[in-house]
Structure 1
Amino acid sequence: METTTIKAMNARELTKKILNNEELFILDVRNTTEFVSWQIEGGKTEIVNMPYFDLLDGIEPALNQIPDDKNVLVVCSKEGSSIFIAEQLIEAGRTNIHYLEGGMKAWSEYLEPVKVGDLRDGGEIFQFVRIGKGCLSYMIVSNGEAAMVDTLRMTDIFKQFAEDKGVQIKHTLDTHLHADHISGGRHLAEMNHATYWLPPKDAEEVTFEYEALEEGKQIMVGNTKIFIKPVYSPGHTIGSTSLIVDDHYLLSGDILFVDSIGRPDLAGKAADWVADLRKTLYETYKNLSQDLIVLPAHFGKATELGEGGKVAARLGDLFVSNAGLNINNDDEFRVAVTEHLPPQPNAYQEIRQTNMGRITPNEAEQREMEMGPNRCAVHDK
């Protein structure tokens, strides 16, 4: 008698299905609290939550929910529970059943490299999309050298990508002190004997040496004069610094996103930083070239993913479409960015302390701290 075996789907394969708009039915067997807080979305995925413990007495409730004509992916936190449920579904006669290899932990850490565009004299800029968490890192490449911006914790991926491109990482930069994820910038710089840059106003409590990322400094990548120009842009943090690359791209950190704007409360100083945030968005950014292509450090919704997964938008277009850039009254703006905000990122205080070098969690602890969405945006709807 022919039997159907359980199949694994890894995070890369899942990402490709989402970006290619392939139909996929997801059965998420985590508890309801985890599911409501953070789930897989995007493309033509359909998802239903049925907690694992509700299915231990029988798989029948799930059978009634799962379509016969679609590929089915069972998801849990680490993969163990999803394997068990997937096996039960197969024993009940269902086919095209997969489980997410490594579970949501693996989904949280997968990075999809996307080419953003070309720079002058043969340079390139790449975006690394952490699709499961909404984080974005950038590699700027020119004439055998590279600079990384807002480097994520998974530094081996960037190191390997640079080796494959035949370039040496000379600089790593953080646009601000991150609160939603652990920065890999300093570690990657140490691995490559590169220079690590951080805005000095965000670095008052750090325990390590760094190069001050501030206006007036120009960081050259390669010898083809592709410059990274810092633009002081406080509001998300007091030190937030945007970067203009090659006079064409604006790396906005957590100040401006495609569908929202940055929140000012993650260091406990929302009331103090609201005015800074408004000035950055409504004056500093308004005075920049409106043809700059905005490349943020995060995205909040799958709808912000463009072709190939790229997250980008023209600055002038965002002043039309982004609700956060169209609040004319100061008081209304203050309310919008300080009240009715989404929950703060998981373990954000501990993440800030880690990025300051004040605590040193191990790898397992770092993974646990980063679980969940980034929640760095106001998310006006």
Structure 2
Amino acid sequence: MTTTATYQPMTAKEVTRYVLDKQPLFILDVRNEGDYNDWRIEGETIESINVPYFELLEGVEGIMDRIPAEGKVLVVCAKEGSSMFVAEQLAETGRAEVFYLQGGMKAWSEYLEPVKVADLKDGGELYQFVRIGKGCLSYMVISNGEAATIDTLRMTDVFEQFAAEKGATIKHTIDTHLHADHISGGRQLAEKLGATYWLPPKDAGEVTFEYAALNDAEEITVGDTQIKIQAIYSPGHTIGSTSFVVDDRYLLSGDILFVESIGRPDLAGLAEDWVGDLRNTLYNRYKELSEELVVLPAHFGKITELGEGGKVSARLGDLYQNNPGLNIHDEAEFRRAVTENLPQHPNSYQQIRQTNMGKIAPTSDEQREMEIGPNRCAIHDK
């Protein structure tokens, strides 16, 4: 009797659960070696190997000794098609539990996992949206039927649907700065819903659209219960970078401060001009804030930064003890650390900045391609 080879799709959402729940998963990545080395699915219990697709056109027999005999095997490629072809071959060998990544790494790059950060006073809620495949973090503050999104990603339908599920109307979309690693969805979402789009004016000198100026000490109220988002001017990653204190307990630090690193000042080509601002923000301005504030950054660089449930956060006082970027006490050494030997730039970062200024309008497919790869916003993301 002939056995039909069976293999199944696995969604990016399902893969995310393996990563966050620390369940074992073996990945056969069939992209070319350069793409694999640049960016791949990682996790504490994720094991992966890279065998380019063109090496498997004649069959998979030559790599079977590298694939575990038991457990789930996920085949991954850029878009999906090549992984389906290889997954079918694996299944034909009699190998059980074979899967392919539905939508490929493009789908992995775009998936957002909502994680509840906390209940806020007077019934409000704060959520973090973890873009696990790219390291981006967005936020939503919900209170009394209203919502505000912060550092909204271009997958705006996710935020719109989530707010609707919570019975809230998005009234504000806010960017902490002009992003260079991903395309903002804040303006698009605000225009669709009739919300207010906020942007720091010092980052908006070249934008082609109208916006609400997010100035230092600005207070944005969400709902009738006075959950205030207080703006704190914190330049360094960009000249307009602005942080927020939410509910007097949470510091949304944008790309200035991360859990294991600090922001880079060079993505607008002005590292030497902005390094002093970066140091002042981290070593003076933030020092004036309560050490009990919980830092919620706009990015993470390593999978190790994900905590319980996938949440990325840390107490500000603990970061002053443990974050290497906050412990470079010699100013000249600090200048060297944030301007020399930095990781390579994010993919297409100049075009992404131009898009976020409204100067160019790439198609959806072009935007997706521009964002492929890691974010590289920190000085230690190597």
TM surpasses 0.5 = yes
Alignment match, 1:64: 65
Query: Are the counterparts in 1 of residues 5 and 88 from structure 2 also a CA contact under 8 Å?
Result: no
Alignment match, 2:101: 100
Alignment match, 1:141: 142
Alignment match, 1:209: 210
Per-residue CA shift, 1:304-354, capped at 9, x if unaligned? 001110001100000011000000101111111111111100000000000
- Offset of residue 380 of structure 1: 7.0
Matches within 5 A, 1:345-356: 345-356=346-357
- Offset of residue 246 of structure 1: 0.8
Alignment match, 2:88: 87
Structure 1 runs (4+) greater than 2 angstroms displaced:
1-4
Matches within 5 A, 1:1-381: 1=1, 2-379=3-380
CA distance in 1, matches of 2:287, 2:62: 54
CA distance in 2, matches of 1:195, 1:166: 19
Query: Are the counterparts in 2 of residues 264 and 274 from structure 1 also a CA contact under 8 Å?
Result: yes
CA distance in 2, matches of 1:310, 1:139: 14
- Offset of residue 121 of structure 1: 0.1
* Unmatched runs of 5 consecutive residues or more in structure 2: none
- Offset of residue 92 of structure 1: 1.7
CA distance in 2, matches of 1:60, 1:300: 36
- Offset of residue 58 of structure 1: 2.8
Distance 1:159 1:218, change over 3 A: same
Which one-letter code corresponds to 2:219 in the other structure? Q
TM-score (norm 2): 0.98
Which one-letter code corresponds to 2:263 in the other structure? G
In terms of mean alpha carbon deviation, does 4-13 or 202-211 score higher?
4-13
Which one-letter code corresponds to 1:334 in the other structure? R
- Offset of residue 3 of structure 1: 3.0
Query: Are the counterparts in 2 of residues 354 and 361 from structure 1 also a CA contact under 8 Å?
Result: yes
- Offset of residue 91 of structure 1: 1.2
CA distance in 2, matches of 1:146, 1:351: 26
Query: Are the counterparts in 2 of residues 20 and 43 from structure 1 also a CA contact under 8 Å?
Result: no
Per-residue CA shift, 1:269-296, capped at 9, x if unaligned? 0011111101000000111001000000
Query: Are the counterparts in 1 of residues 151 and 175 from structure 2 also a CA contact under 8 Å?
Result: yes
CA distance in 2, matches of 1:191, 1:42: 36
CA RMSD of aligned residues (A): 0.9
- Offset of residue 43 of structure 1: 3.1
Per-residue CA shift, 1:40-86, capped at 9, x if unaligned? 00130001111101111331232121001221000000010001111
CA distance in 1, matches of 2:78, 2:230: 41
CA distance in 2, matches of 1:344, 1:212: 28
- Offset of residue 144 of structure 1: 0.6
CA distance in 2, matches of 1:42, 1:5: 26
CA distance in 1, matches of 2:261, 2:65: 38
- Offset of residue 229 of structure 1: 0.6
CA distance in 1, matches of 2:86, 2:59: 10
CA distance in 2, matches of 1:260, 1:113: 23
Give SS of 1:175's match: coil
Give SS of 1:286's match: helix
* Unmatched runs of 5 consecutive residues or more in structure 1: none
Give SS of 1:64's match: helix
Query: Are the counterparts in 1 of residues 355 and 361 from structure 2 also a CA contact under 8 Å?
Result: yes
Give SS of 1:139's match: strand
CA distance in 1, matches of 2:312, 2:38: 22
